[in-house]
Amino acid sequence: MKKFVFSCSLLILLAISASAQKTKPWTEWSEKDTDKVLNDSGWGQTQTEGGSSDEPSQTSAITSTTAARENQVRNAGAAAKAGESGDKKMPGTVHYRVRFLTAKPIRAAFVRKVELQGAPAEKVAQLKSFVDRDFGDYIVITITMEGNDAKRMVPVAQGLTTADLNALRDVTYLERKDGKRVQLLDYRAPTQDGLGAKFVFPRTVEGKPFIEATSGEVKFAMEMGKAFKISRRFKVADMMYDGRLEF
């Protein structure tokens, strides 16, 4: 009986702890919290290729500028050459981060991470308005990458920079569990905002939101020839934030 009571008490404490975590204001998130939201949540998923999925990246793709991304690729190339010269070669790894930019938690995590990394207070204040931005009738998915595999990263970076909207439309889509798909509406190449490549879809289809609480899950898929393919699934049940469905 005592064991039963103890087990029940433990479950209650765990439930309270989980609830507290969910209701913690984003302005109080730790770096671990932001990473969880950005890379492993209902709004952010990671596709890893090559090497070890636990291998640390050399540069964060979240706050990187164009110069930082170029430096990252140079570092990856240097690592590859070091392996060729006989030094210990690290296994090449690339992490593709796929996120719903139009989901408030992703924008909040982005701003909070910038703050935790020591950005000036005035810059953080300016970015905070981004958290509450209204994207209207659009869903925006972003892709960033980080890693140390230059052979993979260089062609992908080039492809994302020069990608053609018409070509992408044939191979890029959102798909619900019931098989209903929505086609890519617009594409924006990566810029110095650090948010990555942006894929724009309509939020409503035939007068109804494309994603609803009963949608089950949503898959984002795209490809760029032989350079790379992305396929990530997001559980709609995990996309609730502050009592509403965020996507």
Q: To 10 degrees, the CA torsion angle through 199, 203, 205, 207?
A: -160
User: What total of structural domains would you count in the chain?
Assistant: 1
Distance CA 87, CA 211 (A): 50
Contacts of 144 (CB under 8 A, 6+ apart): 61, 62, 64, 96, 97, 99, 190, 194, 195, 196, 197
pLDDT attached to residue 227: 74
Q: How confident is the model at residue 90 (pLDDT cuts 50, 70, 90)?
A: low
The confidence score (pLDDT) of residue 14 equals 39
Task: Tell me whether residue 6 is in a domain.
Answer: no
199-209 as b/e: b if 16+ CB within 10 A: bbbbbebeeee
Tokens 């890893």: give the residue.
Answer: 48
Q: Does the pTM of the predicted model rise above 0.75?
A: yes
Is 5 domain-assigned? no
Residue 169 within a domain: yes
In a domain, 237, yes or no: yes
H/E element, 31: helix 31-39
Range of the domain at 149: 24-242
> Strand locations in 63-216, DSSP E?
94-100, 138-147, 173-176, 181-183, 186-188, 197-202, 204-205, 208-209
Tens digits of residue pLDDT in 15-71: 443 443 457 899 999 999 999 999 999 999 999 998 754 444 433 343 343 444 444
| Token representation of residue 193 | 């905002």
Nearest CA-CA partner of 230 in 63, 70, 49: 49
Q: Would 58 be classed as within a structural domain? A: yes
Query: Is it the case that residue 1 has pLDDT exceeding 60?
Result: no
> Is 247 domain-assigned?
no
| Residue 13 domain flag | no
What is the mean predicted confidence (pLDDT) over 144-173? 93
**pLDDT for 7 beyond 90:** no
Averaged confidence pLDDT in the chain = 82
Q: Among candidates 99, 3, 4, 90, which has minimal Cα distance to 51?
A: 90
Is position 35 within any domain? yes
